[in-house]
Amino acid sequence: MAIDSFTLLSAFLIGIAGSVHCVGMCGGIVGAFSFAIPKQQSDTLYLLAYNLGRISSYALAGAITGVLGAYFSSSSTYGLSVLNIISAIMLILLGLYIGGWWKVLTHLERAGSVLWQYISPIGRRLIPFRSPFYAIPYGMIWGWLPCGLVYSTLSWSLASGSAYQGAMVMLSFGLGTLPAMLLLGTSASQIRPFLTKSYVRQTIALILLAYACSLLYGLVGHI
């Protein structure tokens, strides 16, 4: 698919909607992260550096999947259509996952944990931080944490058509997750109880499901 402003906005909004998952998945990480910051220093620069690294990893993963998707699309007549349908289906699975109705994406997270067990020890070598610059590679490592939310959005990069477009999709998604992740590391972390309430998660999940179904309907009708 050609990446346009609407697609990037959609990826950004999915990141915002998926922040309810980030709160549960990464909230503990951000909380522990504060203990790695030198005393008497502001958390702000370290949190920004950490998230810069995290979102950079998302963009890199998007570039890789964009290249793989472009290769598949060029080698198959219906390759791009198949990838677009897969993207819509993955978004449906994400909605079911966030709503707590079907946790099938946990199987993908378990698969990703195979790689994670090899790279996670590297992050521990970077703490405690000597400066905010140490938080950047730390964030890049944690950007590869097995996460169904990330994997679902990566399927959009797979159908993007190029490394650049795949990276832009994941960059937009990462920026969407940024507000909640920054708030979790500040005094505004009282948002966490609200975002983890079941009715909030299920409302967001229903919006994602409606959007995914409309995309899938349009794709199937086009074919």
Q: Note the pLDDT tens digit of each residue in 142-191.
A: 899 888 889 999 999 998 889 999 999 999 999 999 988 887 665 455 66
Confidence of residue 199 (pLDDT cuts 50, 70, 90): confident
Q: Which residue has the higher pLDDT, 194 or 45?
A: 45
Cα separation of 176 and 178, whole Å?
Answer: 5
- Please give the helix or strand (H or E) that residue 17 lies within, else none: helix 5-17
For a pLDDT cut of 90, what percent of the chain falls above it?
35
Half-sphere exposure of 108 (CA within 13 A, CB side): 18
Distances in Å between the Cα of 131 and the Cα atoms of 33, 51, 57, 124, 125 are: 13, 15, 20, 15, 14
pLDDT for residue 171: 97
Query: Mean pLDDT, to the nearest integer, of 95-115?
Result: 89
pLDDT for residue 44: 85
Cα separation of 32 and 217, whole Å?
Answer: 43
pLDDT for residue 79: 82
pLDDT digit string, tens, across residues 17-65: 877 766 666 655 666 677 788 888 878 899 899 999 999 999 999 999 9
pLDDT for residue 204: 85
pLDDT for residue 29: 66
